[in-house]
Structure 1
Amino acid sequence: MGMSVTISAATDKDAEQILKLQYLCYQSEAALYDDYSIEPLTQTFDELRAEMRDGCVVVARLGDEVVGSVRGAVDADGVGSIDKLIVHPRMQRHGLGSRLLAAVEERLTAEHAVTRFRLLTGHRSEGNLRLYRSRGYAQVGTEEVSRRLSLITLEKDASAQAYVASA
């Protein structure tokens, strides 16, 4: 290809590509849990645009194509919530998820007084769990959503972010 992937803040013009990529990426999660009504598959364009306005959205680009994305926001208690980390299937297993996760952590920390980061993933999503643990996240809770799905909450101290990024 000859091009390298760049990571930067998302712009309004990225919204359509992000939504399409999100739909593609969450098909495997929906199949894993036999639930195609999950929010990432039903989110509207307007809902995504609102998230982009109110939070931090980072994208990975290969040329003009959005090949990855992640969202973050910080609450009043300084907890940085990270959500919807997606990487195009053809770009997975090359470290792009780690790069996106580090980028959103860095942006949130630069703009807010973040004390810790939190994210959620399904109990069967082994690839996600492996990635998050490799980035310093530890399981702090489990919530049974249905008989098919339990959500695992993972957190890490924000001060660990710099250490993990340099490791």
Structure 2
Amino acid sequence: MGMSVTLAAATEDDAERILKLQYLCFQEEAELYGDYSLEPLTQSLAALRAELAEGLVLVARLGEEVVGSARGTVGEDGTAVISGLMVHPRLQRHGLGGRLLAAIEERLAAERSADRYRLATGHRNERTLRLYRGWGYERVAVERVTGKRSVVTLEKVAVPVKEPVRV
């Protein structure tokens, strides 16, 4: 009998596990561009802990193991910025990324009054772009970061939440 993946709010104790997962998950993106200086690969533990303290961070757990995560903050204009969406490579393509995205959206709307969502990914990351388009996100901007890499920004309007989501 297998274990199920559960979603929950991250705690301070999850910081190191999230950072290790982040390093593993963003290797493929770095390889796409031949650029291992991507922010997820260079972020410090202190910076991640600051994100845990300031924003909403969810984790996906398989037993005690952190196998996915997503982060979000909401600005004064009601726009939620979702970042750090990642799923352990061995669990990708099983719907966990979509579950995390839906959960972070719902929590940001219910708890922090988000009325719009914004996220970004590299222009060559077709799998992630497909996921975001499948969840209703539309491209609003493309910014060249380096000679080899551009970042695509996508947005969508939040659907009003009728009742609080419990994760």
TM, length-normalised to structure 2: 0.94
What secondary structure sits across from 2:7 in the alignment? strand
Q: In structure 2, how many angstroms separate the alpha carbons of the residues matched to 1:25 and 1:69?
A: 11
Query: Partner of 1:90 in structure 2?
Result: 90
The alpha-carbon deviation at position 160 of structure 1 amounts to 7.6
The code of the aligned residue for 2:150 comes to S
Structure-1 residue corresponding to 2:14? 14
Aligned to 1:75: 75
Q: Classify 1:160/1:144 alpha carbon distance in 2 versus 1 (closer, same or farther; 3 Å).
A: farther
1:53 aligns to 2:53 (yes or no): yes
> Offset at 1:113?
2.0
Coordinate RMSD, CA, aligned:
1.3
Letter in 1 for 2:148: R
Residue 82 of structure 1 deviates from its aligned partner by 0.3
| Shift in Å, 1:111 | 1.1
Q: Which residue in 2 is equivalent to 1:132?
A: 132
Separation in 2 of the partners of 1:64 and 1:145? Answer: 37
- What residue in structure 2 maps to residue 4 of structure 1? 4
SS at the partner of 1:118? Answer: strand
User: For 1:27-66, what aligned pairs fall within 5 Å after superposition?
Assistant: 27-66=27-66
Partner of 1:108: 108
Moved beyond 4 Å, runs of 4+: none
Q: Is the 8 A contact 2:21 2:67 kept in 1?
A: yes
* Unmatched 5+ stretches in structure 2: 163-167
SS in 2 for 1:28: helix
Q: Which residue of 2 aligns with 1:144?
A: 144
> 1:69-101, CA deviations, whole angstroms, 9 ceiling, x for partnerless residues?
010000010000000101000000000000000
Q: Aligned in 2, Cα 1:126/1:161: closer, same or farther, shift over 3 Å?
A: farther
Query: Contact conserved, 2:72 with 2:104, CA < 8 A, in 1?
Result: yes
Q: Is the 8 A contact 1:136 1:160 kept in 2?
A: no
The C-alpha deviation readout for 1:34-76, integer Å capped at 9, x for no partner, is 1101110011111000000000000000000000001000001
Paired positions, count: 162
**SS at the partner of 1:77?**
coil
- Contact 1:22–1:86 under 8 Å retained in 2: yes
User: TM (normalized to structure 1)?
Assistant: 0.94
Identity %: 62
Distance in 2, Cα, partners of 1:146 & 1:16? 29
Match of 1:153, SS state, is strand
